[in-house]
Amino acid sequence: MLTTIFTTIVLIVGYVCYSFGGGIPFEEQSKLYEALRTTAAIIFGVMGAWIAIVYPTILTRIFDKNTKNKKEEVRKISRLLKPLAVSTFILATVLIISIAAPIFKQIDWFVAHTEIFRGISFSIVGILTLVQLWTLIASLAPGEHLLFELRKEEDKSKLVEKLKSNIKKNEK
């Protein structure tokens, strides 16, 4: 259901951006590509830090034969790797476009169809921005999960302390 909704939104954004993007010069669009590249690089770094700092042993546990909850470990790491992979894809796309655009500007056929390719380019910017927004939100998930686990441990500690306190009261 969520995939269908997201796909529908992506298609609508792509169509709207294509419809209005034909009149937007690539020089203006290139600023948006640069912002996408910067954001993707930041998210890439953040997700890499999550893996290295917060979950440093998770990869080794996945491949350890003695690990009991491999499914849980795989689920945790996939929550980190998906945004990392999407940011990598966005970075690669933006880098390829930044190299291809100046070349296309020198080919007569592309120049003759400038408005169409501006629309396609702006559509790509719109879709990548939407996907980047999802990636940005997904990059918060490991922190939220960590906070949930910390609160659970805190609640467990409080409960243990309360039980110990009750036992001591009953012993007196």
Please say if the pLDDT value at position 41 is more than 70: yes
Distance (Å, rounded) from C-alpha 56 to C-alpha 61?
10
Quick: pLDDT tens for 44-86.
Answer: 888 888 777 777 776 666 666 666 666 777 777 777 788 888 9
Question: How much is the pTM?
Answer: 0.76
Distance (Å, rounded) from C-alpha 104 to C-alpha 97?
10
Distance (Å, rounded) from C-alpha 43 to C-alpha 136?
7
Distance (Å, rounded) from C-alpha 38 to C-alpha 44?
10
Q: How far is CA 127 from CA 29, 42, 84, in A?
A: 13, 19, 17
For the chain, the straight-line distance linking the first and the last C-alpha, in angstroms and rounded, comes to: 59
pLDDT given at position 92: 94
Name which residue leads in pLDDT, 133 or 153: 133
Q: Which residue has the tokens 């996408």?
A: 36
The helix/strand/coil state of 65 is coil
Please say if the pLDDT value at position 145 is more than 80: no
Quick one: average pLDDT of 30-46? 91
Length of the chain: 172
pLDDT given at position 62: 65
Q: Which residue has the tokens 């408005």?
A: 115
Quick: pLDDT tens for 77-129.
Answer: 777 788 888 989 999 999 999 999 999 999 999 999 999 999 999 999 999 99
Name which residue leads in pLDDT, 7 or 54: 7
Name which residue leads in pLDDT, 129 or 152: 129
Please say if the pLDDT value at position 34 is more than 90: yes
Tell which residue, 88, 84, 90, has the closest CA to residue 127: 90
pLDDT given at position 172: 63
Tell which residue, 19, 7, 40, 20, has the closest CA to residue 129: 40
